[in-house]
Structure 1
C-alpha cells in the first residue's frame, strides 16, 4: 500500500467488542505502508476530522493527499465517514417520560438522511438559523432544526444580528437561547382533545395542531460554525427539531376570508393561553385537505414570556376572531389546568421561571374566565395586546393593580388570587 492510501478498519464488535470512551470515541486501525496503527476517533467525527488526525499522528501524510477507504469504498470526498459521521440524538432529561412514536419515526428518518449525507439546508427566511432536514431519499423534508446558539441575537446567529447586550431576546420577556425550549414546550402544552398526551393518545394531534417537536443534539458541517468545523464534540448543536408539515404556503399568501372558524379558534386558544409574543400570518401554515383549509401554527420561540408587553396576535383582525367559541372549544378550555401544565413541563426538564409561570397562570386564568363569560377571541385578545407600543394593555394594568394592592411579603398564591378578583371586576364592565 502506498503512503497516501490509508485503509480505515474499525474494530469488529464480534471480535473485540466496540470500545467507547466517555467522549463517544471508537477504535479504528490505520494501515500505512505495511504497518497497522490503532487510533481513537470520535464516533461522530467527519472525514475531515479523521484525515486531520491521521496527518497529525503520521508524519508526511498530508490530509489533502490522503485516500481513505472504508470497507471497499473510497470515502475521502464524502462529508461523513460510514454511518458515524453525523450525530443526531434526542435530549432526554427524564427517562420516565415516553417520547411519542411519531417523534421516534421523525428522528429515525432524519438520522438516516444524515447518514446518507443528505445535508441540512438552511432556510432563506427568518432571523435565526433554521435548517430543513432531508428524507433519506433526498426528495422531501422531514424536519426543521433550530440550534439554540443560532437564534436571533445569539452568539452564532448566521444572519449577522448583533449580540444581545443583556440576554433579552427580540421579544420582551424572553431570553436568547431559550427559543428551542419554547418550541418544544408549545408541542407539550398543545394537548389533544382527550387530555395531556400519553401512551393511550400519543398518536392524536394536539388541539391547535402544533407539529411534533423534540429537543435534540445534532452535528453537521452545514450549520453555522464561525470558529471552524472539525467534526468534534465542540461542534455539536443543541436545538429543537420540529416535524416538517406538508403545506401550500402561509396565511400571508391569501386573505383570511376562507379560513374555517374552528381552525382560527384553535390557534387563538393556544396563543392566548401561552401569551404568544410572535403570532403573525407568516407563522401559520395552510394545507388543503379534501378541499378544506387546515391551519398549522409554527414558530413558537416567543411563547411563554415573562410579561405581556409584546403579545402579538395577527388573527385579531380576522373576522373569525369575532365569532363566539363553540361548545366543543369551551369544553376544551374548561379542561386546561395551568398548575398541571407547569408540572408537566418540569417533568420534561424545563422549570419555568417565576415570571414565566406567573404570566402563564394569568393568561390561562383570563382565557378561562373570558370564555366562560362568552367573550370572543377578539375580546380576550384585545385585553392582552397593546393598542400602541407605549400604551399598556388591560391585562398589564390588572397585574399592576394587583402589585399595588398587596402587602409586601405575601406569597404567590395570594398575589394570583388578587389578580383573579381584579380580573373579575374588569370583565364585568368589559364591552367590545
Structure 2
C-alpha cells in the first residue's frame, strides 16, 4: 500500500529552483577528477517522479566558467536562466536573494504549487524553507553531501543527495579503491540509521505493526536526509530486513492488502548502540573531506606549490597535481591531492583564475597565486580554515574549540 503523502506528491504541481553556480562549484570541489559531474537529466527525472513540473529556474552568472558551458544543457531541459553577474569583489552574486524572492512570489501567485525543490546547500535558504513549510508547502532540498550541513537537511521536508541521485561516490573522484575509512563511514551510517528506527519505535503511539511504506516516510519525517541507498541497500525492505532479530521482530504480510508489515521488538529488549561522535568526525575528515592530518605532509605539498609558482606562470589544477604528486608521500592519493588543490582555490584563498574561459572546466582553467600568499604558513591557514568550515557544515552543533582541536 502506497503511503498517502507520496501518492499526493505525484498529483501535485512542483517547482524547481537551482542555485546553479553553487551546485556547479560544489560538484567540482567534490569530484575534481570528473568532467561535468553535475548532470541535469537525473535531477529532472527525480522532480518529474514527484509531480508535474510547472516551473524550472536556474540562477548563475552565465557569462563565465562552467555555468557558461552548461547553457545549452539548461535550454534543452527547459530552464528559465536568471543571469546574476558578480556583484562584489569577492565574486559573489545575488542568487540567494533572487531565488528567495522568486519562490515567495510564485508561492503567492501560484497557490496550486504544493512542492518546492531547491537545489543548493546554502544555509541562507533556511528562513525561506521555514516560511514555505509554515504555509503548508513541501520543500525538498538537493545538494552534494560535502557542501550541505545538517541544519538545512533537518529543516526541509526531505533532503535528496545529488551524490546518490547522480550515482557518484568518493571513488569516482579518482582511482582510489574502497578504503577502510569508506567502510567505517558506511558502518557509522548504519548504526545511526538503526538508532533512527529506535527513535521511531520510542515515539510512536500505536504499538501494532506498521506498513513498510509508511515506516520509510515516518523515518524521513524524523530525519529528512535518511536514505537506504547510502547504507548500501538496494531497497528499503532489505534495510529493514537487516534489522530482523535486533530492532525488528519480523516482516509479515497483511492478509487484507497483501502488503508487507513490520513488527518491532519491545524497547527493553533492544540493545542500545550509540554512535561515537569522535569516530564520526575522524572518518568524516579522513574519507569524506580527505583531510591530510600529517602536518609534515601538508608542509611538503605547500612548499611545492610555492616553488611551482616562482616563475609566476599560470597553471591549472591538473598541471599542479601532475607536477606535485611524484614528489610527495605516496600515502596521499591523486584524488586527495586534487581535492586539496581545488579547495585552495576560490574567493579569498590561495589561487585565483588567471583568465576564465567559459568553455574550459575549472580544474583545467589556468590559475595564479594570490598576491597575499607568500609563505607555507599562509597556505596552511587557508587550508585549515577551509577544513573547519566544512566540518561545521556537517556538524553545526560542534563547539568551535572542539573543531579547532581536531582540525590542526
TM-score, normalised on structure 1?
A: 0.21
Higher relative contact order (CA 8 A, sep 6+): 2
TM-score when normalising by structure 2: 0.22
Higher helix share: 2
